[in-house]
A = this chain, B = another copy of it.
Amino acid sequence: MPLRLAELAVRFGCELQGDPDALVERVAPLQEASPGSLAFLANPRYRRFLAGTRATAVVLDAGSAAECPVAALVARNPYATYARIAQLLHPAPPVVAGRHPSAVVEAGAQVDASAYVGALACVAAGATIGPRAFVGPGSVVLGGAQVGADTRLVARVTICEGVRLGARCLLHPGCVIGADGFGQAPDAGTYVKVPQLGSVVLGDDVEVGSNTTIDRGAIGDTLVGDGVKIDNQVQIGHNVRIGEHTVIAGCAGISGSAVIGRRCMIAGMVGVAGHLEICDDVAITGRTMVSSSIRQPGVYSSALHADEAKRFRRNAARFQQLDELARRVRRLEQAAGAQGEDDE
């Protein structure tokens, strides 16, 4: 359904520059957009494509508006405004109530009449599926699990016993919520399994990426706060607690019993050790290893970056002698100091 730029400007609080009656009906990248498309400019890397765009309109900030060759929706936060308009132009298909004939809904499962259970999905006895929830094809919801209103399990999602998902969550294929945490008590050269008796509780508006795993608590629950967004292949250990509106990028790993604050930004491949705390508003850059608590908001790093291999190897070899090198510098300083004294 095409929308008028004037309507978009009013609805999303943008300043409109250009024809209020122009229509857009889809979104497209700046450099590939054709008439009828809406594009956006948020990352300065892509500014070079602005002058040549054929979009009907571009969402951008005031600083770029003067350069825009077509209509502009000038926004304080162009990326978020673009996201909202894109949701409007490309709405997710509504959930159609019902069950695929191949779905298995066991006796004793409670599936809201407005929910959908897809092909070859299984909802076990004692599970609860809320209003307008979507249990996609091949998903498994085990006993006692609760899926909140408007929550969507895209496909092949596993929700283990007793896990509770809030409203409007979005879980991508292959993710596993509530498998046993890794509790192994060493004893005389072997290990005794520690029963994992807690569960997992996800708040509202949580997104969980593909093949991400969130383990159930050992005794208490693993807790993921409202609005937390988790990317693909993230591993979250038992009894972790994650504060509201924290984002975690792909391949990060959070070890058991770590407590992460609100509004943190954890980049890709970050590792967080167990039994520590990260306060609110901490940003951790890609591939950093966090092995002790962080008590001050700020940005933290520990990853070395790619270098030409030969040069890297030489430096890495020196790293193995770094303590000794520092001692040698100390001796030189002492000698120079002593000599300086001698000189005096």
- A-side residues, CB < 8 A to B, are 27-29, 32, 43, 45, 77, 79-80, 82-84, 86-87, 90, 92, 100, 102, 104, 106, 119-120, 122, 124, 137-138, 140, 142, 154-156, 158, 160, 170, 172-174, 176, 179-180, 182-187, 189-195, 197, 207, 209-211, 213, 215, 219-220, 227, 229, 231-233, 235, 237, 245, 247, 249-251, 253, 255, 263, 268-269, 271, 273, 275, 284-292, 294, 298-323, 325-326, 328-329, 332-333, 335-336, 340
Contacts and interface: CB of A to CB of B under 8 A. Distances in A.
Nearest to A299: B309
A175 to B, nearest CB: 8
A225 to B, nearest CB: 11
Given A286-B289, A319-B322, 20 more contacts: A77-B186, A83-B192, A92-B195, A138-B138, A140-B156, A182-B231, A184-B229, A184-B247, A190-B245, A191-B229, A233-B235, A251-B251, A290-B305, A290-B306, A300-B309, A304-B304, A315-B320, A315-B322, A318-B326, A332-B332
B302 A304 contact: yes
Given A84-B192, A160-B173, A307 B298 contact: no
Contacts of A299: 308-310
